[in-house]
Structures are given as C-alpha cells and as structure tokens.
Structure 1
C-alpha cells in the first residue's frame, strides 16, 4: 500500500475536507482528490461519501482511518524518542491526571520544573477519564489507582486519604463538631457519590450521609470543594495533601478519614528512555519527598 497516499488519506479524514487537507499538506485540492481516487481504486472500495458540506467516511474508510490514526500515534512516539537528547530536555510532554490532583497539587509546583527546564512544553490534561497511554493519548499519567493497561511502567508515588476540613471563620461562627452526629448541624461539601472520584472518597461520603445531614453542597471536583470551604460555606471532604500546603484549612473530626488511596505514575514502555519522562518523574518524586519532610517537621513542632 502506498504510504504517501495513506498520509494524504489520513489528512483528509482528519480534516473532513479536501481543501483543508490540501492546505495542511501544501497540495492543491485537485492533487489531493486524485490521490484519494487512486487509493480507492487500489483498494477496490469507496472511502468517503461526498456531500455538499464536506466528506464523511464510509464504513471501510472508518476502518482505514483507525489504522492510520494508530500509525500516526506510533510515529509520534518514535519521533519523541528520537528527539529526546541525553543532554537536553525540551519539547512537548503530555501529562494527564485527575482534575483535583492536577489543579491543587501538581500545577502550583510546576514553576520549579520550568525554572530548571525552560524549553519544556507541558500539555496538562485534567480529566477523570483514563487516557490510553499505549495509544499515545498522553505521555505520562498520575492516577489515584494502579493502571490496568498493559505495556506500562508504573511507580507508586504515595498514598492519599480523604479527610474533613473547614475554615477557621466558619468554625468560629458555627462551632466545631465533636462527633459524627454533630455533622447534622453543618453543611457538608463533597462530591456526589455518583460522580467520578476515588472509591474510598465515595464510601466515606456514603458513611457521612447516614448522620442525617440536612444541608449539602455537591461539587464534581475537589478544586470546587476547596473553594467552597475557603469561602466558609461548610465542612468539606478533601484529600489530605492539601493540608500540607494550605494553612487556611483546619482539620475537623481527626479520627475520621477514608481508607488509603494509592497514587501511581505510569508511562508507556516505549518511552522508558525518554529524558522528558525521566525529569518529570524525578521532579514529582522529589516534590513528594519534600512535602513529607515538611509534614514531619510540622508534626515535631
């Protein structure tokens, strides 16, 4: 099969237009059209339905596009490995993690990484959906459970527990609960048990809701929960790593916490020797070690 024709087909399928594909490939519309017709003739099938509003893939076209998309991702991975230098760190690094962890823990620390590697270009993708690392939807992931995908290198970073926090102004006005039953007098701020979150957090929410809590505020990520707590709206269920860096949070009911949530860093086996992955991994491990050191010093005082 002609690789050049496949490249042109992929561009057309991705753009949905001969004109837009031609602009990307620096080819005329007629040249692109001739290559697509020649590819269809060589395969003995129609790859696109032609409409006034553009091109739509046929069933056979979808099959071929799936194949070229996979090829493109593999080629991107190979190019990334080739670009990685033993001496320099530069280029794009696509990092995926959950919204709460990425917003509250990772993003505030990235200035240190950029100070050391100013030519690094990080694409931080914050979402609860687990991206497919072997298919190159991202380069590296930090997740609140061990990844199940094959062909991944995994490293357990730390554990997290979900705990109850409030602001001092809120507690001064409404009082500090002394028992779980006292929560009925307060507003609970947390994620709904049906929203995407760590299972340990959902189980603790279910337990808390058994205490006849009359007022709740559900937010679908921990950043929103944190903001509500800091604006004195109630008592929030938040990951314990926040208390290490945010003195505005006061822990409530210190005997109440969730089971441990493991935090893993993972990346594809094929990026084992990537310098960008290496420096990012070492940076995250170093930041966790520094956080633990500060926590021990605080406990000692």
Structure 2
C-alpha cells in the first residue's frame, strides 16, 4: 500500500470531508478525491459511503483507519524517541576500551559520569580487540592508535606515559637499578602473548640498551596487563606499566627515571551517525574535560 495515500485517507477521515482535508494538506478537493478513488482501486474495496451529509466509513474503511491511526501513533512515538535521543542524554551506551585504560582510568571516573547523567546506562566492554563500531558492536571506543576506518570520528584524548616500576619490597630485597645495564641483574617482567605489536613494543625492558637479537631473559611473561601490574606490585620484579595505573600506587616506585621511555596516544572514536546522539555527546565531552585537566 502507498503510504502517501494512506496518510491522505487518514486526514480525510479526521477532517470529515475532502475539502477540509485538502485545505490542511494544501491540495484541491478534486485531487484528494482522485487519490482516495485510486486507493480504493488499489485495495479493491470501498472505503467510504458517499452521502449528501458527508463521508461515512465502510467496514473496510474502518479497518484501514484503525490501522492508519496505529501507524500514526507509532510514528509519533518514534519521533519523540528520536528527539529525546538527540536532545536528552538517555538510554544504553556501549563503550569499549582496552583492559588497562578501561578497567583503571575509565572505571575510576564512571561513577561521576553516572551521577551527572542518571538516565544513561553504561555497558563497558573491556577488550584489546578493536570492535567494529560501524557494525554497532559498540557505540564509542577509547583506542590506543588512530582508527583505520575513514568514516569514524576521532578525537585525541591524552598521551599515556610508560615507565619501569618495581615494588618497594622488591627494591629492598634486590636493590634498585641505577642504569640500563643494571637490568641484566634483575628479574624482568613482560607483557606477551597475542597482543598487537605496538603494545608489545611498549614492554621493551628485555631489549632496552641491548641488541634486539640478544634480549635479556624474562622471569615472567603474561598476556594480561592487569596481571602484569599485580606481579610488579607484589614484588616479582621490574616491569613496564602506564603512569595512570601506577603513579599513585604507594606499593611501587618508578625506577630508571632518567631514561627515555615510550609513550602512546589515546583516542576517542565513534561513528559519524552517532555524532548527534546526546548520550554520545555528553560522554565525549566528559572524557575530553578529564583529559584536558590531566585528571589522572
């Protein structure tokens, strides 16, 4: 069925005659009459009894009017929901981030965001895999490199500083390395496993100051950054970790402070079609404000 004709039929029934319906829609009475006749021909049923006192719905016309009324109500509800989506922050927001930055930096701040926007429900997906935002696997992502997809909006958040850390208990037991060469005599902890190469490159204590073909041995290799930080904190050895996770930890100390260590930029990423969604807008602005104030 032609929706334009159904909409015209609805207006005719609501107005009571062709003339008033035509005036509301900006078309003449004869055009309205022709389109109603065409709709009746399409459906092969009469919709009105033409009476000198006006139009009277047939049984078929009453069925169609009820259906058109239901569609109109659904469209009005949809329009209202779309307005709320673009104007009022509400609804589900699926956020994906790496286990480290999502589980620590973001998790520490999510309560404040939820207090500010109580109608937004957050689903935080922690994974080192880059979910496909275009396929709606998530609404917004915090990434540690620029996205390859050209249709994604990207906003740099902050630079993540990495340094070598050891626990106070480990330093008391084994001493603190003063130079890179001293690492040869220490227990080295590393991130490994199925990780992107740019992530593995951050954990380079095995090759720092040495030929990459002749790395110093690792005492402990784990494929999870949280487990690596737990091992550092509990005195297993020296390992690389981001400052946002360790700088305020009273149980650890940054070592080799004078050595240049790697950095990594973080980005806020979301699809173009989510630009005008209010819950995405306020979440973006919230994270950007935290990043600009160096709230680590």
Equivalents in 1 of 2:135, 2:83: separation in Å? Answer: 18
Deviation at 1:188, TM superposition (A): 1.4
- 1:222 aligned to 221, 225, 234, which one? 225
Alignment of 1:275-294 (within 5 A): 275-291=278-294
- 1:272 aligned to 259, 271, 275, which one? 275
TM-score norm. by structure 2 comes to 0.65
Q: 1:284 to 1:80 in 2, by over 3 A?
A: farther
C-alpha contact 1:163 1:258 (8 A) present in aligned 2: yes
Alignment of 1:118 onto 2:118: yes
Alignment of 1:127-146 (within 5 A): 127-146=127-146
C-alpha contact 1:81 1:271 (8 A) present in aligned 2: no
1:122-172 CA-partner distances (Å, limit 9, x unpaired): 111111111111111110011000111121111011112321011112111
Where structure 2 has 5 or more consecutive residues not aligned to the other structure, the ranges are 1-78
Q: 1:242 to 1:80 in 2, by over 3 A?
A: farther
Equivalents in 2 of 1:115, 1:147: separation in Å? Answer: 30
SS at match of 1:153: strand
Question: Could you tell me which residue of structure 1 aligns to residue 175 of structure 2?
Answer: 175
Deviation at 1:286, TM superposition (A): 2.0
Q: 1:185 to 1:101 in 2, by over 3 A?
A: same
Question: Could you tell me which residue of structure 2 aligns to residue 102 of structure 1?
Answer: 102
SS at match of 2:293: helix
1:230-288 CA-partner distances (Å, limit 9, x unpaired): 11111111112224443433111013344331111010100111111111111112222
Q: 1:165 to 1:79 in 2, by over 3 A?
A: farther
Equivalents in 2 of 1:257, 1:126: separation in Å? Answer: 29
Structure ID, larger Rg: 2
Equivalents in 1 of 2:280, 2:292: separation in Å? Answer: 18
Alignment of 1:3-18 (within 5 A): none
Where structure 1 has 5 or more consecutive residues not aligned to the other structure, the ranges are 1-77, 295-301
Give the total of aligned pairs: 214
Higher percent of residues as helix? 1
Q: 1:224 to 1:217 in 2, by over 3 A?
A: same
Deviation at 1:204, TM superposition (A): 4.9
TM-score norm. by structure 1 comes to 0.64
